[in-house]
Amino acid sequence: MNSPLPSLIEPAQLEAVLGDPELLIVDLSQPQTYARLHVPGAVHVNPATLVCGLPPAPGKLPSPAQLRALFAGIGYRADRHVVIYDDEGGGWAGRFAWTLEVIGHHRYSLLDGGLHSWVKERHPCESRANTATPSPVGLVLQPDVIAELSTVLAALGDPATKIWDARSREEYLGLRSGSLRAGHIPGAVNLDWLELMDPARNLRLKPLPTLRAQLDALGIHQGHTIITHCQSHHRSGLTWFAAKLLGFKALGYHGSWAEWGNHPDVPIETTV
């Protein structure tokens, strides 16, 4: 590539560099969607491989061995620029971007609107599966983008840290829960991940000034550290990416509400 790609890339920008050997395009759509159509050259990563899958917090990071196997299997190299997309508006793509940061890889772009914008705006597609020759990958995990339960507990009452709950309003209020306990982390602010997308623009992120204004209205201002979560750090993959794009120091709480809401001894706020 002649010039670096932006963190948020337009479909036309990606089409212009298709076939570049420095590029690794990763499709995080559902397997049946990838089998039907995908960006030319994209390798598929099943979203289920991004999480450990173990109760009570199935959304936590997989083991280091599982991560090494995942990245080895897609032809990952530290010198490649990774472009990521999914078929749902950015949740899994954002989770993969966060995972790249976890392994210390910073050269990546998220396709704005994902497969929705790519297909609806008539960019080229293919249906044949792309594979890579597996090769050993050495990974060193970077804890500075990972929020653990202890991290969140330590942040309670810290005016420099804001907790962004990306779940639905019903989940936040405690009217619905996927865990034993319902409600939200004390002091957390709620902005549903769906509120970041613009359906009129094929599920692209809303313009950055609009996103910044949404966060400002919730008391999240430049200079704050953001810890974001949902039920399993899937939906909050997108909110983590958006926060980072806006210049915040952002951490993903990978245990998310599945861990917090199933823990008997952590504080919870609720309206019911």
Is pLDDT above 90 for 270? Answer: no
Q: Note whether 116 and 147 are same-domain residues.
A: no
Domain boundary among 71, 87, 120: 120
58 in a domain, yes or no? yes
Count Cα atoms within 13 angstroms, Cβ side, for 17: 22
Residues 32 and 256: their CA atoms lie apart, in Å, by 28
Residues 197 and 112: their CA atoms lie apart, in Å, by 10
2 in a domain, yes or no? no
pTM: 0.97
User: What per-residue confidence (pLDDT) applies to 205?
Assistant: 98
Q: Note whether 94 and 157 are same-domain residues.
A: no
User: What per-residue confidence (pLDDT) applies to 2?
Assistant: 66
Is pLDDT above 90 for 136? Answer: no
Helix (H, G, I), strand (E, B) or coil at 30: coil
Task: Give the total number of structural domains in the chain.
Answer: 2
138 in a domain, yes or no? no
104 in a domain, yes or no? yes
Q: What is the CATH number of the domain that holds 74?
A: 3.40.250.10
Q: Note whether 60 and 153 are same-domain residues.
A: no
267 in a domain, yes or no? no
Q: Note whether 206 and 256 are same-domain residues.
A: yes
Q: Note whether 247 and 188 are same-domain residues.
A: yes
Parent domain of 49: 8-120
Contacts of 47 (CB under 8 A, 6+ apart): 28, 30, 86, 92, 95, 234
132 in a domain, yes or no? no
165 in a domain, yes or no? yes
Q: Note whether 27 and 83 are same-domain residues.
A: yes
Q: Catalytic: 230?
A: yes
Q: Note whether 149 and 244 are same-domain residues.
A: yes
Q: Note whether 111 and 149 are same-domain residues.
A: no
% pLDDT > 90, the chain? 95
pLDDT in tens, 163-222: 999 999 999 999 999 999 999 999 999 999 999 999 999 999 999 999 999 999 999 999
User: What per-residue confidence (pLDDT) applies to 134?
Assistant: 86
Q: Note whether 177 and 222 are same-domain residues.
A: yes
Domain boundary among 87, 120, 153: 120
Q: List the catalytic residue out of 182, 230, 243, 250.
A: 230
* Contact indicator for 52, 58 with CB cutoff of 8 Å: yes
Length of the chain: 272
Mean pLDDT on 18-22: 95
Amino acid identity at 113:
G
266 in a domain, yes or no? no
Q: Note whether 89 and 192 are same-domain residues.
A: no
Residues 261 and 257: their CA atoms lie apart, in Å, by 5
Residues 191 and 98: their CA atoms lie apart, in Å, by 19
